[in-house]
Each structure stands twice: as C-alpha cells, then as structure tokens.
Amino acid sequence: MNKRHFTLIMAGGMLCMARAAEPKPNVVLIVADDLGYGDLECYGAKNVHTPAVNKLAEQGIRFTDTHAVAATSTPSRYSLLTGEYAWRRPDTDVAPGDAGMIIRPEQYTIADMMRHSGYATAAIGKWHLGLGDRTGQQDWNAPLPASPRDIGFDYHYIMAATSDRVPCVFIEQDTVACYDPQAPIYVSYRKNFDGEPTGADNPELLTNLRHSHGHDMSIVNGIGRIGYMKGGGKALWKDQNIADSITRHAVDFIGRHADEPFFLYFATNDVHVPRFPHDRFRGKNPMGLRGDAIVQFDWSVGQIMHALDSLGIADNTIVILTSDNGPVVDDGYDDRAEELLGGHSPAGPFRGNKYSAFEGGTAVPMIVRWPAKVKPGQQSDALMSQIDLMRSLGALNAAKLPRGSAPDSQNKLSTLLGQDTTPRDYAPEMSNSRVLSLRSGKWKYIEPSNGGPMITWGPKIETGNLSEPQLYDMESDTGERHNVAAQHPEIVKQMQQKVDELRALSSEKDE
Ligand code: NG6
Ligand code: CA
C-alpha cells in the first residue's frame, strides 16, 4: 500500500472518532512571501493600509518576536513543513524551478500529521520545494511522479517554484493546470531552446517589467525570468491574475471542506518579485508596485476571512499569518521599489533584509486568530520560531508522530494560543550564505564567517558576515549596531557552543 492510500484510510478512521468529540478547529496557515516585519500597518507601516490583516491582529494575538528558520524561501519552508532545520541537509538552498522534490515521500510533514489527525489538507500558491523525482528530468506534459500529494497534501494548486522562475504555469493534482496540448512545455536551467527570445537578447520584448539584475532568461508575459522555458500556451499564468487565481482556489477548497476539519497551507506569491499586481490594486498607495503587492496580499487575506465568515466556520478556525523570510526592496526588477519607499522600513526596526544574518533576514510578523479559544487584542513578545508550528499543531490534536520525525520542532501550543508567554530557549536562524545565528533571551549572536559585508550579486543588502563573533543586546540595540561580543566572552562561548551543536546535526544526518 503506498503512502497516499495509507493516509487516506488513516484519515477516514480518525474522522469518525473526531465527530463524537469537540469539533477540531480548522487550521489556515497563511505564509506570505518576502513580507517584512515592518510591511503591515499593524506592525507600524505608515505608507500602506492593510485593513484585513489589522483586523486579524485585533481579533487575535500579534507576535513581536517570531523567526523564520532561514532568510530565503526554500530552507524556511522546508523547516516549517517538516519540523527539521534546513541545514541538516545540503540540498535545501533556493531551489530552481526544475528541482526534484526535496521533501521525499518517506519524510513526515506537517500535512501528513494533519491528515492523520483527520483533516482534509491542501497546499495552494507558492511551493518552491521541488516537484517530480529527479532534478531537471520532469516531463511537464505528463502527471508528475512525485508531488505534494506524496507528503500529506490531499490537494494542491501551486507554482513549482517562484513567479520569477520557469515554468510559469500552475500545477494542480500533479499536472499542469489548463494544459494546452498545442503548446507542450519544455524547461531547462542549463540552456535556451532554439529560437526562443530572452531578456538578455531581446529587451524590446520586456513590455511589462524590465530586470535590474538577473531575470534575463526566458520571457513570459513581457517579463524576463530565471531559467528557460518553451511552450505553455494557454496554461501560462498572467502575473496580474496570480493572486486572484490562488485565492479563488483557496476559497473553493474551504467551501468544499466546510463540514469537516481542514488544514490549508495558503502560500501567497505576494510580495515576491516580479511584483505585478492586478490593475485594481495599483496606484492606491505611494510606494508603487511593492506597496500595491502588499495591498493585494491584504485583499487575499480578506477573501479567506470572508469565506470562513460566510460559511459560519470562522469561530472554530485557527488562522496563522506569517512570512517565509524578511523583506527585500530591489530583488531584480526595475519596479522603482527603492525610490518610492518614502521612509517606509520594510524590516521595521531591524537591520538587514532577506538573505541577511541580521534580524531583518528572519524576523517576521506572526498573527494567530481563533475566536473560539484565543482572547482578542493580545500582543505576545515571546521568542517564537516557525520550526515549532508542526509540533504545536500536533499537540492541538494529540497527534502521534512517527519516531524521528520533526526532530527540531517543539510544542509551544500554549504560547501560540496566548495562554502563556513561555518563550523558546533559543531561535536559530540561517542566512543565505548558511551562516547560523541565534536569538536567546535578549541576545542575538552571529557566528564568525569569511564572507564579505554586502551581497555582491544584485540586492543592496548587508550579509551580516564578519570574521569575528557578533553579539547584540536586542533590548537596548534592536538595530544590531553595537557589537558587544568582547564585553561578554561567556555569553559568546555559550552561544557558539549551541551553534556548534546545531551545526553538528548536519553531520549526524550524513552518517
Ligand atoms: C534570487 C533571485 C531573487 C529571488 C530569490 C529567491 C536573482 C538575481 N535573484 O536568486 O529574485 O528569486 O533568489 O527568493 O536571480 S525566495 O524568496 O524565493 O527565496
Ligand atoms: Ca521568500
């Protein structure tokens, strides 16, 4: 019996048992892309309005000290969905669009866990964790042999990677959605297909957005991408419709499962590049396309909440809203994001952005709303890490996880639900160059590394790298300006020991 059949039988059995007891809460996990700590009005943003998210925060808990495990998407999402730190594996860096599935079917995920607890499960939106069995070997014109269905998601409607990476089509239940037999799809991350234009050679075809760095390979919808692609025809997405499309699929999934418990992983494309929101969200704020993408994200959140409300299931639905990593302003397209900031600080009070070992890389918003059980209007300053979502949600359902699964996840359910403010002892963070940092109590520690101080391949972002240990007092120095490592050798020693312990986990895995 394969895993798909086994889990269905398990889910069926658990569902019958659940009906007798208190109804299980639905769980909607909203993970924005590159949305910074300072990008929401309820986290201090002034230049952009986010009424739907503000309302969530008013009706639930707004966390002020939550951390993604990594400063980019693939390792961050890998950690969140598996409860295993991404650095345990060497193959969890930002994945190309033709990566094979990184989480293998044998690995137990948050979706497997929810499904075994009797939930209908779905992944909708950005995936970025690979598809199919082998990198570069996918046949995009046939059902993919490995997909989110093999790791616990009953339903998926996803982009293979990111909207700036080919293939620019949605995958639904293992196959290209709206597949166009007249335009078979070919993808390569090594070389272009004969006669196909590229952003580098045919800039006159970049009618919707021009690149500022990278993103000069295949052109889809007048926008240059990473990677080469041929075909697609009617299946190619239109960037201005991506938010509508994934939001509609999420709302439909909710509607189909309104009378049974469901777990929805709703991973928005907003506010990742290329930022190309629908016309109706444009020009409503002074920050240009990046601000418009935030407005569009807020609209998606509002649509999800509206669906839950109109089905009468919002009270017993836990909505968790967070982001996969910190913000980035210029991430490779000439969308004027930098010049239009107008004083807006995407990372709020933190130094550094996406990719960085500074807090701006991994400090993210997190909001939890569950009217049936969670008191509204709370703020929690407890140190939290997304790695703990898996075992915390498991605890909610008294889930029994197979031995060895979610090895790094801890049950922090009572903090997540605002019953107490017990923090995580330490929250580890991995930068784009795999430098490890630790938050613990008031301290932030960054291990020494040899890399340079600035990213050299495009974004104007500080890496946080330094050849010496860095220690910051986050209470008095939230912006990580004064390295006090020399004054606190004991703390530095302890924190480096912890980092060594964490890094050793990767060699343990290799044995
Ligand atoms: C970078 C891309 C950037 C973005 C990032 C991944 C270039 C020059 N830049 O390599 O645009 O796609 O990868 O972002 O190619 S993430 O949020 O999905 O991790
Ligand atoms: Ca991201």
The DSSP-derived string for 225-273 is -BSEEE--GGGBPPGGGHHHHHHHHHHHHHHHTTTS-EEEEEE--TTSS
What's CA 511's distance to the chain center, in Å? 30
Measured CA to CA, the distance from residue 28 to residue 136 in angstroms comes to 32
Distance 269 CA to ligand 1 centre (A): 13
Q: Is 361 in the pocket of ligand 1 (CB under 6 A)?
A: no
Distance 11 CA to ligand 2 centre (A): 31
Q: Is 422 left (phi over 0), alpha (psi -120 to 50) or beta?
A: beta
Predicted structure pTM score? 0.96
Cβ of 193: how many Cβ atoms within 10 Å? 13
Strand, helix or coil for residue 209: strand
Residue 22 is predicted with a pLDDT of: 80
Closest Cα to atom 17 of ligand 1: 73
| Tens-digit pLDDT string for the chain (511 aa) | 345 544 444 544 444 444 456 899 999 999 999 999 999 999 999 999 999 999 999 999 999 999 999 999 999 999 999 999 999 999 999 999 999 999 999 999 999 999 999 999 999 999 999 999 999 999 999 999 999 999 999 999 999 999 999 999 999 999 999 999 999 999 999 999 999 999 999 999 999 999 999 999 999 999 999 999 999 999 999 999 999 999 999 999 999 999 999 999 999 999 999 999 999 999 989 999 999 999 999 999 999 999 999 999 999 999 999 999 999 999 999 999 999 999 999 999 999 999 999 999 999 999 999 999 999 999 999 999 999 999 999 999 999 999 999 999 999 999 999 999 999 999 999 999 999 999 999 999 999 999 999 999 999 999 999 999 999 999 999 999 999 999 999 999 999 999 999 999 987 765 4
Measured CA to CA, the distance from residue 498 to residue 444 in angstroms comes to 12
Torsional sign, CA 43, 45, 46, 50: negative
470-473/443-446 β-pairing: antiparallel
- Neighbour-count burial of 17, counting CB atoms closer than 10 A to its CB (0-12 exposed, 13-18 middle, 19+ buried): exposed
Joined tokens for residue 16: 């019958």
Measured CA to CA, the distance from residue 500 to residue 469 in angstroms comes to 13
Residue 465 is predicted with a pLDDT of: 98
Q: Is 296 in the pocket of ligand 1 (CB under 6 A)?
A: no
Measured CA to CA, the distance from residue 399 to residue 117 in angstroms comes to 6
Strand, helix or coil for residue 462: strand
Residue 18 is predicted with a pLDDT of: 45
Who contacts 141 (Cβ-Cβ below 8 Å, separation ≥6)? 176, 179, 184, 185
**Do 125 and 159 contact (CB within 8 A), yes or no?**
yes
Closest Cα to atom 12 of ligand 1: 164
Q: Is 77 in the pocket of ligand 1 (CB under 6 A)?
A: no
- Neighbour-count burial of 453, counting CB atoms closer than 10 A to its CB (0-12 exposed, 13-18 middle, 19+ buried): exposed
Closest Cα to atom 10 of ligand 1: 94
In degrees, rounded to 5, the angle at the alpha carbon of residue 346 between the alpha carbons of residues 341 and 352 is 115
In degrees, rounded to 5, the angle at the alpha carbon of residue 379 between the alpha carbons of residues 378 and 383 is 135
Q: What is the dihedral of CA 94, 97, 98, 103, to 10 degrees?
A: 50
From 502, 60, 498, 78, select the one nearest 325 (Cα to Cα): 78
Measured CA to CA, the distance from residue 316 to residue 491 in angstroms comes to 43
Residues pairing with 265 in the sheet: 29, 123
**Do 480 and 471 contact (CB within 8 A), yes or no?**
no
Q: How far is it between the farthest Cα atoms of the chain?
A: 68
Distance 394 CA to ligand 1 centre (A): 32
Residue 510 is predicted with a pLDDT of: 52
Distance 354 CA to ligand 1 centre (A): 10
Ligand 1 pocket test target in 94, 362, 433 with most atoms within 8 Å of CB: 94
Strand, helix or coil for residue 86: helix
Distance 96 CA to ligand 1 centre (A): 10
From 143, 139, 129, 132, select the one nearest 174 (Cα to Cα): 143
> What kind and span of H or E run contains 321?
strand 317-323
- Neighbour-count burial of 475, counting CB atoms closer than 10 A to its CB (0-12 exposed, 13-18 middle, 19+ buried): exposed
Measured CA to CA, the distance from residue 254 to residue 331 in angstroms comes to 33
Ligand 1 pocket test target in 212, 271, 272 with most atoms within 8 Å of CB: 272
Output DSSP code: residue 285.
Answer: S
From 464, 353, 304, 389, select the one nearest 37 (Cα to Cα): 353
Residue 508 is predicted with a pLDDT of: 73
Output DSSP code: residue 148.
Answer: G
Residues in the chain: 511
Measured CA to CA, the distance from residue 170 to residue 235 in angstroms comes to 8
Strand, helix or coil for residue 343: coil
Measured CA to CA, the distance from residue 292 to residue 315 in angstroms comes to 30
Cβ of 9: how many Cβ atoms within 10 Å? 10
Q: How far apart are the first and last CA of the chain?
A: 29
Backbone angles phi and psi of 252, in degrees to 5: -65, -40
Measured CA to CA, the distance from residue 366 to residue 450 in angstroms comes to 32
Torsional sign, CA 55, 56, 60, 64: negative
Beta strands in 88-205 (DSSP E): 120-126, 155-159, 170-172, 175-176, 186-188
**Do 353 and 327 contact (CB within 8 A), yes or no?**
yes
